[in-house]
Each structure stands twice: as C-alpha cells, then as structure tokens.
Amino acid sequence: MTIVAGTTALGPIDVHVHLSKNGRGGFGGWSRRRWIMQPFLRAAARDIGLRCGFDSVHFDELYLSQLLHWLDDSSLSAAVLLAYDWSRDERGAVRKDLSDLYVSNNAVFAAVRCSPKLLPGVSIHPSRPDALDELEHAAERGAALLKLLPCVQNIDCNQPRYAKFWTRLAELHLPLLAHTGGEFCVRSCRNDLKSPRCLRLPLECGVNVIAAHCATRALPWDGDHFTEFIEMRRQHPNLYGDLSPLSHITHLASLERLRREPERLLHGTDYPVVSAVFPSRLKGWISREQARQLNRMANPLEKKIRLTRAQGFPERVFTELWALLPPAVVSRFAGSRRAQPGSQAQASDKGARRSE
C-alpha cells in the first residue's frame, strides 16, 4: 500500500468524530428518541457545551457549530467526521425498526466543507444493491475512510459475497473503521458481530482495518473481545485499533495492556462521547496535578489528546493514521495546509494554551 512520505509532519488527527443529526432541523439525518438514553445524552450535551438538547429543532446546526469551535481551538490538525448508514437486511433494504441513528454521506460531505480540518468518513452498507457504485462515488468525492458498525447495522463482513466490495475498498486505499466490542449508545441487533473475528475477510482482501475501541467492553457485563483483538493484531499486519473513547473504568484492564503494547494504535475521541479522567488517576497513571488540569479543560477534543499523552501512549498514535488514508486525500490536505501559512504553528500554540 502506498504511503505518503513525511505524514507525521501533518500533525495530530482524530479518527473517530461523529456528525450527529436528529432529523428535525435539516436534511440527511435521523435519530430515535430512546428514554433510556436521556440522562446520558444530557451528560454528553453538557460535556460538549451544547446550547440546546438533543431533541431541539436547532440541534443539527448547533451541534456542528460547537464541533467546529472545539476543533478550531484544539491542537488537532484534522478529524475524520463520520456518516452512519441504516441497519439493513440481507438484500440491502433499510430496517428503520432496528436503527437508532442515521447520518447520510451527503450530510457529511456538506459538513466537511465548513472546515479544512474535517475529512469525510462515509458509511455504505455492503448489502446495498448500489454499494459498489456508492463506494466509487464516495472515493471520487474525496472520502477518507469507510465507517461501519457490523453489530448495529447487521453486517456479516465475512460473507463471501462481500469480497468484491472489500477488494475494491483496498484498491481505493480506503481504510475500514469498524465498531468492535461493547456498544452502549445504540442498540445492537447481532451480538455475535461484536468480535473482531468478523473482520477476517476484509483483512484478507488487503483492507487496512481499524477496530474501533480495540474490541473493549462498554459495560461490565459485555462479552470480552479484547484478547481476540490482541491475537488478531499479531496475525494481521493490516489490523489497527483506535483508542476512542478508552478512559472509563470498564476500559482499564485493556488500557493497561495497550499501554505496554502500543503497536498500531490510533488516536480517537468518539466525540460526543465523554472521556473520563478519574479512572487514570485511580490507576496512578496520571498525577493529581495532571488530573486537575485535565478536569478543568473545557475542550473535549483537546482533553482526550492530553489524557492519551498523560497515560503514556507514544506520539505516533496521533499521526499514524495519515499513512493509511488515500494518498490523494492526504496530498490535498497537505496542499491546503501549505496554502494557509502558520497553520501548524497555530495549532500547536492552541494545544499549548489549553495545557496551561
């Protein structure tokens, strides 16, 4: 796979940022209002400083403007903004009854036009009859990666009929960011697809696969797939993991191991999911002073960068993603940065300011 030289100089990139839409204030999105999630949504809204609730008619607009504010005021060079396809049946028909969230690829392409720091992460269920056409179209429009949630969207990635789709994905140099492990925010319809073993076929077809959350638990009673991730990472040099939003009590045992074996790990927040500081203090990974500074930090994107550094992960976790993205996307991004002199210095300045 082609690797663009000097990609670490492009600076920190967040592989896992969600575009969120409730379908009330615009096009391209929908979400189910589940009463059980209300307290968690309120906590997330508070954490990201949203000036309305997740149900508001102004939500779509305010969510994006708040994200742009945090991104601009962080030391991140870029973030991948993610679409979210429907849950679908074997023939590709939409199963709205199984879906809790939908964000169209068009909505993501429209949103990334608001900031040169945003890169589009598309979502295309491979059972869609037009899946290959959509993939080509997305690549032509500058997609940076493909995001799927096999256990939520009902995608058995190992079905031989998807091999053509994965092969084309690899040819287009598009990585696959796939949810693995426990899922808390939306319902899962296939618990058997939480294991990273369901990603074997795309890996064998040559796709660079990023197992979101390194297959860790979300809740204490979730099945544990983390050791499967570690085994598979050993077997497949094209398997990576993302660190989003690994910081909570349920992640500590996995984080302990990842700190010791930080190979092929990528920085991510899972924004707007909240990052927790206290568990790292509890483990003695960060000092009382570091915990105090992190807790005072308002910007959730910057807070996760600082927390990941304080936890002892190497600098390469912030930049290794650049080497996996389509070379044309990286070149275009590098070109747009050159066109804005000082942008890199400004970004690290902002990060330094946040740490004071």
182 close to 222: Cβ distance less than 8 angstroms: yes
Q: Is 87 exposed, middle or buried (0-12, 13-18, 19+ CB in 10 A)?
A: buried
Interface with Zn ion: number of residues (CB under 5 A) = 1
Say whether residue 270 binds Zn ion (CB under 5 A). yes
Q: Among 86-94, 165-173, 219-227, 263-271, which window interacts with Zn ion (CB under 5 A)?
A: 263-271
The sign of the CA dihedral 44, 177, 321, 308 is: positive
- In the bound state with Zn ion, the residue whose beta carbon lies nearer, of 81 and 205, is 81
CA 104 to chain centre: 16
100 lies in the site for Zn ion, by CB under 5 A: no
Output the CA torsion sign for 82, 199, 206, 13.
Answer: positive
Name the segment binding Zn ion (CB under 5 A); options: 3-11, 53-61, 140-148, 270-278: 270-278
The size of the chain, in residues, is 356
**Minimum distance from CB of 314 to Zn ion (Å)?**
23
Nearer to Zn ion, 242 or 281 (CB): 242
Give 186 or 307: the residue with its C-beta nearer to Zn ion. 186
Query: For residues 201-260, which are near Zn ion according to CB under 5 A?
Result: none
Nearest to 269 by CA among 10, 2, 18: 18
- Pick between residue 178 and residue 205 the one whose CB is nearest to Zn ion: 178
Q: Output 245 or 326, the one with its CB closest to Zn ion.
A: 245
Closest residue by beta carbon to Zn ion: 270
Kindly tell me which of 101 and 277 has the beta carbon lying closer to Zn ion: 101
> What x-and-dash track marks residues 166-205 binding Zn ion by CB under 5 A?
----------------------------------------
Which residues, in sequence order, are CB contacts of 335 under 8 Å at separation 6+?
none
**Token pair belonging to 67:** 């994200």
- Per CB under 5 A, 85 contacts Zn ion: no
Q: Name residue 263's amino acid.
A: E
Q: Of the two residues 270 and 320, which places its CB atom closer to Zn ion in the complex?
A: 270
Q: Which stretch binds Zn ion (CB under 5 A): 70-78, 189-197, 266-274, 276-284?
A: 266-274
Dihedral angle over CA of 259, 263, 265, 267, nearest 10: 60
- The residue among 103, 149, 145 whose CA lies nearest residue 121 is 145
In angstroms, give the least distance from the CB of 182 to Zn ion: 12
Binding residues among 54-83 for Zn ion as defined by CB under 5 A: none
The residue written with tokens 């492009």 in the block is: 10
Binding site for Zn ion (CB under 5 A): 270
